[in-house]
C-alpha cells in the first residue's frame, strides 16, 4: 500500500504505540492530543506478557523493564479470616512468563520519548470532538468546530470516553459500572509488602483493597506502589464526608500492614476516583476511521488487560496495513485479527468483575469457598495463569507478532534495574 497520511487522536498507550509502528512503516503520521503537555493519567498498571511483547517489538522492552517491578503472583486473602482466596502464579503455565508493574508515567515516558526522538509531530491542546468526510479522506474536527487536519486514515485512540466512537454509526452500548476505586501512588519505603505480587484483601465482594508494587517513574526516582480501595462510585462523596481518618481506620482494621501507606495520605486530593465502563465496538472501524484501545473496548481493570490490549491493537493495525493491498481490506483484517481475543477478554472481565466488585453475598461465597478450592488444581492454575497473562488464546500470530522468549531472558530479567 502507498504511504498514507494518518491522523491519530489521543496520546495514550494506544496512540503513541501506533504512531511508532506506522511512522516506522513509512506513513506520514501526526498525533493530536487534548492536553497542552501530553501527560499520563492515573496510577499504576500491570503490564502482561502480551503488552510487553509489543514493547519488545518496538525495541522498548529493556527501557520499561528497568523502570518496572517484576510481578510473579496475584494473591488475595479474606481480610477477616486471612484465608487465601486467590493465588495465581504466572509460572503455573509453561513459558517463563511474568508481569511487570509500572507507573503510568513510566509507560507514557517510554513511548512518548521514542515518539519525540523519532520526530513524530504531536499537536497539543486540541480536543477532538468529531470527524467528517472530505472527499475520500476524513477530517478531524476540534472543539472549536474547525477542521484540524484531513487524513487518508484516522485512528481514534482517545480512550474510554471517546467522542468519535460515541458519534459513530458503530457506537456500542456503554455500561457504566457501579463500582470504581480510589487510587494513589505512594512511596513503598520500608513497608512490609510482597514486592513480587499484586496483593489484595477482601471482605465479601464489597471491600477490595490492593497494593501493587509499581517501580520507578524515572531511573533516579525511588520505587513506589499503587494503592487502591474499591467502592461504589455513588458512595464516594459520603465516604469523603465521613472524613479521611475514618476511612483510614476502616482500612487499618482490615489490613494493618497498610499503615505506612495510609500515613502518606493527608488529603483526598491524593486519591483519584477511577470510574469504569464496559463496551465493545463491533467492528472497530467505520469508513476510514479505526478505533483502537479503550475507544474500541473498555472494561473494568480487574484482569489488568486494558493497556496491553491497546498495545496489541496498535500492532495489529500496523500489521494489517503492511500486509493488505488497500485500506478497506486492511481495516477488515485489523478487526478480524483482534476480534476473538477482544471478545474473550471482554467476556472474562464481565464475568470476573462481580466476584470482586459487587453487593452479592452469593458470588463472594462462591469465590471464597468454591473457586478458591478449584483454583488449587494444577490444570485450573494453568488456566488462570493464561487468563492473567492475556494468552488464553494466542493474541500474537494474527497481529504479526512473535511472543518474546521469556525463558531465554529469565536470568537477566531477574537482575535488579
Ligand atoms: C484505575 C485503573 C487501573 C487500570 N489498571 C490496568 C492494569 O493494571 N493493566 C492494564 O493493562 N490496564 C489497566 N487499566 C486500563 C488502561 O488504563 C487502559 O486500558 C489504557 O490506558 C487504554 O489506553 P488508550 O491509549 O486506549 O486510552 P487512554 O490511556 O485513556 O489515552 C487516551 C488519550 O487520549 C487523550 N484524549 C482523550 N480525549 C481526547 C480528545 N477529545 N481529543 C484529543 N485527545 C483526547 C487523553 O488525554 C489521553 O492522552 C486501568 C485503568 C484504570 C482506570
Q: Which of 85-94, 160-169, 288-297, 355-364 has the lowest mean pLDDT?
A: 355-364
DSSP letter at 401 equals -
Q: What's the chain's Rg over C-alpha atoms? A: 21
276 Cα nearest atom in ligand 1: 53
**Strand residue runs (E) in 99-223:** 99-103, 122-123, 128-134, 137-142, 147-151, 153-156, 175-176, 179-187, 197-203, 207-213
Q: 12 falls in which pLDDT band (50, 70, 90)?
A: very high
CA 293 to ligand 1 centroid distance, Å: 8
- Ligand 1 atom at shortest distance from the alpha carbon of 163: 41
The answer, yes or no, to whether any atom of ligand 1 lies below 6 A from the CB of 210, is no
Q: How far is CA 159 from the centre of its chain?
A: 11
- Cβ contact 299:350 at 8 Å: yes
pLDDT-derived band of residue 417, with 50, 70 and 90 as boundaries?
Answer: very low
Ligand 1 atom nearest residue 143's Cα:
41
Q: What local confidence, expressed as pLDDT, does residue 416 receive? A: 47
**Residue 306 CB less than 6 A away from ligand 1:** yes
The chain-wide mean pLDDT, for the chain, equals: 94
Residue range 151-170: mean pLDDT, rounded: 95
Q: Are 225 and 197 in contact (CB under 8 A)?
A: no
The string of pLDDT tens digits covering residues 68-82 is: 999 999 999 999 999
> For 13-17, 117-121, 151-155, 409-413, which range has the lowest pLDDT when averaged over its residues?
409-413
Burial, 12: exposed, middle or buried (Cβ in 10 Å; 0-12, 13-18, 19+)? Answer: buried
What is the whole-number distance in angstroms between the Cα of residue 5 and the centre of ligand 1? 24
Nearest atom (ligand 1) to Cα of 295: 26
Sign of CA dihedral 210, 362, 348, 160: negative
154 lines ligand 1 (CB under 6 A): no
Fill in the DSSP letter of residue 23.
H
What does the pLDDT average to over 314-323?
A: 98
- Ligand 1 midpoint to CA 226 (Å): 16
pLDDT score of 38: 59
Ligand 1 geometric centre to CA of 303 (Å)? 15
When pLDDT is cut at 50, 70 and 90, the band that residue 240 belongs to is very high
Place of cell 496520546: 11
Give CB contacts under 8 A, 24+ apart, made by 247-251: 251/209
Answer yes or no: is the C-beta of 34 below 6 A from any ligand 1 atom. yes
Q: Which three cell numbers stand for residue 54?
A: 509489543
Residue 160 CA, closest ligand 1 atom number: 30
The answer, yes or no, to whether any atom of ligand 1 lies below 6 A from the CB of 131, is no
Which residue of 125, 198, 294 sits with most ligand 1 atoms within 8 Å of its CB, as the best mutation to test the pocket? 294
Residue 320 neighbours by CB under 8 Å, 6+ apart: 330, 331, 333, 334, 337
Whether 15 is in the pocket of ligand 1, judged by its Cβ within 6 Å, is yes
pLDDT of residue 414 exceeding 60: no
Domain ranges of the chain: 5-175+277-413
Ramachandran region of residue 243, left (φ > 0), alpha (ψ -120 to 50) or beta?
A: left
Whether residue 194 has pLDDT greater than 90: yes
Nearest ligand 1 atom to alpha carbon 292: 26
> Which of 77, 274, 111, 246 lies closest to 185 in space, CA to CA?
274
Q: What is the second-level CATH architecture of the domain 5-175+277-413? A: 3-Layer(bba) Sandwich (3.50)
Q: Which residue among 307, 313, 356 has the greatest number of ligand 1 atoms within 8 angstroms of its CB, and so is best to mutate?
A: 307
Q: What is the mean pLDDT of residues 51-69?
A: 97
| CA-based max dimension of the chain | 65
CB contact at 8 A, 7 and 32: yes
Task: Specify the residue with its C-alpha closest to ligand 1, atom 2.
Answer: 301
Buried/exposed code over 94-104 (b: 16+ C-beta within 10 A; e: otherwise)? ebbbbbbbbbb
* Residue 236 in grid coordinates: 464516594
Q: Which atom of ligand 1 is nearest to the CA of 164?
A: 41
User: How far does CA 26 lie from the centroid of its chain?
Assistant: 28
Query: Whose Cα sits closest to atom 4 in ligand 1?
Result: 301
Predicted confidence band at 215 (pLDDT cuts at 50, 70, 90)? very high
Any ligand 1 atom below 6 A from CB of 308: yes
DSSP 212-260: EE---SSTTSPPEEEEEEEEEGGGHHHHHHH-HHHHHHHHHHH-GGGHH
CA distance 401 to 18: 14
Residue 146 CA to ligand 1 centre (angstroms)? 25
Alpha carbon distance 199, 195 (integer Å): 9
Cell numbers at 146, concatenated: 474547525
Amino acid at each position: 500500500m502507498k504511504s498514507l497520511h494518518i491522523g491519530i487522536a489521543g496520546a495514550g498507550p494506544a496512540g503513541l504505540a501506533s504512531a511508532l509502528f506506522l511512522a516506522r512503516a513509512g506513513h506520514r503520521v501526526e498525533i493530536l492530543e487534548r492536553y497542552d503537555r501530553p501527560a499520563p493519567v492515573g496510577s499504576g498498571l500491570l503490564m502482561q506478557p502480551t503488552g510487553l511483547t509489543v514493547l519488545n517489538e518496538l525495541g522498548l522492552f529493556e527501557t520499561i523493564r528497568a523502570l518496572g517491578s517484576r510481578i510473579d503472583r496475584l494473591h488475595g486473602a479474606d481480610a477477616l479470616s486471612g484465608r487465601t482466596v486467590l493465588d495465581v502464579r504466572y509460572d503455573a503455565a509453561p513459558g517463563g512468563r511474568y508481569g511487570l508493574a509500572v507507573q503510568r508515567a513510566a509507560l507514557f515516558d517510554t513511548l512518548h520519548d521514542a515518539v519525540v526522538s523519532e520526530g513524530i509531530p504531536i499537536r497539543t491542546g486540541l480536543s477532538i470532538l468529531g470527524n467528517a468526510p472530505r472527499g475520500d479522506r476524513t477530517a478531524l474536527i476540534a472543539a472549536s468546530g474547525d477542521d484540524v487536519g484531513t487524513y487518508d486514515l484516522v485512528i481514534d485512540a482517545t480512550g474510554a470516553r471517546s467522542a468519535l466512537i460515541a458519534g459513530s454509526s458503530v457506537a456500542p452500548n456503554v455500561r457504566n459500572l457501579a463500582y470504581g476505586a480510589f487510587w494513589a501512588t505512594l512511596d513503598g519505603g520500608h513497608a512490609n509488602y510482597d514486592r513480587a505480587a499484586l496483593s489484595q484483601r477482601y471482605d465479601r465482594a464489597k471491600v477490595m483493597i490492593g497494593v501493587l508494587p509499581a517501580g520507578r517513574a524515572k531511573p533516579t526516582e525511588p520505587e513506589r506502589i499503587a494503592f487502591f480501595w474499591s467502592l461504589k462510585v455513588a458512595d464516594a462523596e459520603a465516604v469523603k464526608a465521613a472524613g479521611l481518618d475514618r476511612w483510614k481506620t476502616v482500612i487499618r482494621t482490615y489490613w494493618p500492614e497498610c499503615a505506612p501507606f495510609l500515613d502518606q495520605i493527608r488529603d483526598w486530593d491524593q486519591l483519584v476516583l477511577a470510574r469504569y465502563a464496559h463496551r465493545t465496538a463491533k467492528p472497530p472501524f467505520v469508513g476510514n476511521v479505526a478505533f483502537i484501545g479503550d475507544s474500541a473496548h473498555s472494561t473494568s481493570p480487574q484482569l489488568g488487560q486494558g493497556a496491553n490490549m491497546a498495545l496489541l491493537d496498535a500492532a495489529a493495525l500496523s500489521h494489517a496495513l503492511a500486509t493488505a493491498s488497500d485500506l478497506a481490506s486492511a481495516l477488515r483484517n485489523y478487526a478480524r485479527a483482534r476480534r476473538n481475543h477482544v471478545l474473550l477478554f471482554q467476556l472474562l472481565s464481565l464475568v470476573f468483575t462481580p466476584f470482586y466488585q459487587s453487593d452479592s453475598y452469593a458470588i463472594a461465597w462462591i469465590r471464597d469457598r468454591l473457586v478458591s478450592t478449584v483454583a488449587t488444581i494444577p490444570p485450573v492454575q494453568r488456566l488462570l495463569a493464561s487468563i492473567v497473562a492475556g494468552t488464553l488464546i494466542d493474541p500474537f500470530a494474527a497481529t504479526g507478532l512473535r511472543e518474546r522468549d521469556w525463558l531465554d531472558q529469565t536470568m537477566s530479567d531477574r537482575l535488579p534495574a
